[in-house]
Structure 1
Amino acid sequence: MLQQRDMIQLKSMTTHEHAKIAFKNGFYIEGLQILHGNLEISLRILIIMIRKENYADSREIEDLLDEFNYLRCTKLLFILGYIEKDTYDKLKEFNRWKNFIINKMLLHVFKDDVPTISTEQYEKTFLLGEILNEQILHLLETTHQDLDA
C-alpha cells in the first residue's frame, strides 16, 4: 500500500497561479505548458458542455475528445460559432509562439548553441496565454449559466 510520502500532492492553487509561480521562478517551459494545457482542457470542457445540451452520450464524446488537440478544439469551437475570429486568431498565435519557444529551448540538445528567447517575447506570449485563459474561463461560466437557464 502506498504511503503518503510516496504520493505527489498538488498544492491547492489554481492552474493560473501555478503557471505564474513557475514563470516567476524561471521555469519557463513549465509555465507555458501549464497555460497551454489548461486552455486545451478548458476548450474540451466547453465542447462537452455544448454537446450535453443536445445529447446524453457525453461519455462517448469525452472519449472522442481525447483525440482532439488544442488546435482541433479551437477550430471546432470557431466553426460552431462559440468563439469569435479574434479569439480564434489569438488562440492560434499563442499556440504558435508556445511551440516556437518550447521547441527552441528543448531542441538545443541536438545543436552546439545554447538557445535564447527574448524576455520581451516570452513575457508577451505568457501574457497572451493568461488573457486567453481568462477569456475561455469566462466563456465556460457564461455557457454554463446559459445552459442552466
Structure 2
Amino acid sequence: MTAALSQDSAWAAAATRLQSIKGVGWVTAAWTLVTTLNFTSCDTVDSLTAYAGLAPMPRQSGSSVWHRPSIGHTGNGRLRTAFYMATLSAAQHNPVIKAFYTRLREVGKPEKVARCAAARKLLHIAWAVVKKDQPFDPNYALG
C-alpha cells in the first residue's frame, strides 16, 4: 500500500500532511485517503463526519419519542475505527486533542463520549490539513 500511495504525488503529499498530526500514523492516513478518495468523495467536513459515522445523529420515533443524539453507526466503520484508535494516541500526545479531551472529561462526559468527540475533532483537523495544503500546526489550532 505504501508503493500505491507513493505513486501518485497528490496522494503522497496528502499522506505526509496527515501524518504531521500527532496521533495520525501511516495506517490512519492510508485508510483515510483510500476511503475518502483523497477527500474528493465528500464536499464538506460535515458530510465527511457523517460518512465516517462520527456525527451526532438524532434518534426519534414518530412525533413524541425523542432520545439523546448519539453517533450514527451507519457510516464507514473502518474509517470511524481508524480515527477512534488514533484518538487514543492523540489524547496523550497531541496538545489540541489532549486539551479538548481533558476539558470534556472534567465536565463529566464518559470516556467513550469524550473519545468519539475527540475523534470527530481529529477528523476535522485532518480535513483542514489536506484541504488547506499545509502541515498541522498546533499553535494555529490553539491560538
Shared fold (TM-score, shorter chain, > 0.5): no
Whichever of the two has the greater Rg, that structure is: 1
Superposition TM-score, scaled by structure 2 size: 0.29
Superposition TM-score, scaled by structure 1 size: 0.28
Query: Counting helix residues as a fraction of each chain, which structure ranks higher?
Result: 1
Query: Counting strand residues as a fraction of each chain, which structure ranks higher?
Result: 2
